[in-house]
Amino acid sequence: MIGRLNHVAIAVPDLEAASAQYRDALGANVGAPQDEPDHGVTVVFIELPNTKIELLYPLGDNSPIQAFLDKNPSGGIHHVCYEVDDILAARDHLKSTGARVLGDGNPKIGAHGKPVLFLHPKDFNGTLVELEEA
Ligand code: CO
Beta carbons of 119 and 131 less than 8 angstroms apart: yes
- Residue 75 Cα, ligand 1 centroid: separation in angstroms? 15
Judged against a pLDDT cut of 90, whether residue 73 lies above it is answered with yes
User: What value does the mean pLDDT take over residues 77-103?
Assistant: 97
- Residue 91 Cα, ligand 1 centroid: separation in angstroms? 17
Q: Which of 54, 83, 130, 132 is catalytic?
A: 130
Cα–Cα distance between 99 and 122 in angstroms, integer? 9
Q: What local confidence, expressed as pLDDT, does residue 111 receive?
A: 79
The pTM is what? 0.93
Q: What local confidence, expressed as pLDDT, does residue 119 receive?
A: 97
Instruction: Report the topology of domain 5-133.
Output: 2,3-Dihydroxybiphenyl 1,2-Dioxygenase; domain 1 (3.10.180)
pLDDT band, very low/low/confident/very high, at 65 (cuts 50, 70, 90) = very high
Helix (H, G, I), strand (E, B) or coil at 44: strand
Helix (H, G, I), strand (E, B) or coil at 94: helix
pLDDT band, very low/low/confident/very high, at 112 (cuts 50, 70, 90) = confident
pLDDT band, very low/low/confident/very high, at 31 (cuts 50, 70, 90) = very high
pLDDT band, very low/low/confident/very high, at 89 (cuts 50, 70, 90) = very high
Beta carbons of 20 and 28 less than 8 angstroms apart: no
Cα–Cα distance between 10 and 78 in angstroms, integer? 5
Per this entry, what is the length of the chain?
134
Judged against a pLDDT cut of 90, whether residue 115 lies above it is answered with yes
Judged against a pLDDT cut of 90, whether residue 129 lies above it is answered with yes
Q: Is 130 an active-site residue?
A: yes
Q: What local confidence, expressed as pLDDT, does residue 88 receive?
A: 97
- Residue 39 Cα, ligand 1 centroid: separation in angstroms? 10
- Residue 27 Cα, ligand 1 centroid: separation in angstroms? 22
User: What value does the mean pLDDT take over residues 20-32?
Assistant: 98
Residue-averaged pLDDT of the chain: 96
Query: Using CB atoms within 10 A of its CB, is residue 134 exposed (0-12), middle (13-18) or buried (19+)?
Result: middle
Helix (H, G, I), strand (E, B) or coil at 66: helix
What ranges do the domains of the chain cover?
5-133
Per-residue burial over 28-54, b = 16 or more CB atoms within 10 Å of its CB, e = otherwise: eebbeeeeeeebbbbbbbbeeeeebbb
